[in-house]
Amino acid sequence: MASFDGPKFKMTDGSYVQTKTIDVGSSTDISQYLSLLREDSILNGNRAVIFDVCWDVGCPETETKTKTSEWSLSSVKLSTRNLCLFLRLPKPFHDNLKDLYRFFASKFVTFVGVQIEDDLDLLRENHSLVIRNAINVGKLAAKARGTLVLEFLGTRELAHRVLWSDLSRLDSIEAKWDEAGDEEHLEAAAIEGWLIVNVWDQLSE
């Protein structure tokens, strides 16, 4: 039975985010983990799953998103209020993750991200992966608060402006990012996902 049996991290409100990291192979079954995320999003997060993606570039000397064919999906982070799933994908990405494709195509989940327009284009153009119901939370915040700059902020700055949360732990990890280990990188990912869950909840009230 699938479980989020990775490190558990305490958030500033005293709650915990349970994590799981998976190195995805051609036969890896991630469906049960995606089901747990969906269940937690329904119970604890207005049906929202926070997503973030990372890319490998085929030609490092041309690191722009204009040459889309050179970009390949390398990892996906999916978060809810209580869970954080980090998927490290095969290199090259084999376009065989049918469970992930179906999950992103679900009409019952809202996928929330920060500055996601380029990522949505790359997912569609390079991997024929369409996120059916995606929301740029920065754009939503800008409209709700009447402050245009919110649309263009990164995760940390957006959370600070909307929530005024204690970001000292995240700042501590990011200040020594190159020296930090995998567990601290995972903790930062869990914190960022949890922050955007809370931004989304506040804007959805």
What is the C-alpha separation between 26 and 169, in angstroms, rounded? 36
User: What is residue 90's predicted lDDT score, i.e. its pLDDT?
Assistant: 81
- Who's near 98: CB < 8 A, 6+ residues apart? none
pLDDT at 190 > cutoff 50:
yes
Query: What angle, rounded to 10 degrees, do the helices at 155-163 and 168-175 form?
Result: 160
pLDDT at 169 > cutoff 60:
yes
User: What is residue 57's predicted lDDT score, i.e. its pLDDT?
Assistant: 74
What is the C-alpha separation between 94 and 166, in angstroms, rounded? 40
Q: Pick the more confident residue, 20 or 1.
A: 20
Pull the structure tokens for residue 17: 């985010």
Q: What are 22's strand-pairing partners?
A: 87
pLDDT at 158 > cutoff 70:
yes
Q: Pick the more confident residue, 95 or 179.
A: 179
SS3 (DSSP) at 12: coil
Encode pLDDT of 89-123 as tens digits.
887 666 557 889 999 999 889 999 999 999 999 99
User: What is residue 149's predicted lDDT score, i.e. its pLDDT?
Assistant: 92
What is the C-alpha separation between 29 and 10, in angstroms, rounded? 28
Q: Where do we find the tokens 């993606």?
A: 53
pLDDT, mean of residues 136-148: 93
pLDDT at 168 > cutoff 50:
yes
**DSSP one-letter code for 65:** T
What is the C-alpha separation between 5 and 119, in angstroms, rounded? 29
Q: What are 88's strand-pairing partners?
A: 23, 75
Q: What is the 3-state secondary structure (H, E, C) of 42-111?
A: HHHCCCEEEEEEEEEECCHHHCCCCCHHHEEEEEEEEECCCEEEEEECCCCCCCCCHHHHHHHCCCCCEE
Q: Give the amino acid at 28.
A: T
Encode pLDDT of 18-69 as tens digits.
999 999 987 888 999 999 999 999 987 688 999 999 998 754 444 454 555 6
SS3 (DSSP) at 72: strand
Residue 25 exposed, middle or buried by CB count within 10 Å (0-12, 13-18, 19+): exposed
pLDDT, mean of residues 2-15: 93
Mean pLDDT of the chain: 87
User: What is residue 73's predicted lDDT score, i.e. its pLDDT?
Assistant: 87
Do the beta carbons of residue 72 and residue 123 sit within 8 Å? no
pTM over 0.85, yes/no: yes
Nearest 5°: phi and psi at 34?
Answer: -65, -35
User: What is residue 60's predicted lDDT score, i.e. its pLDDT?
Assistant: 45
Percent over 90 (pLDDT), the chain: 56
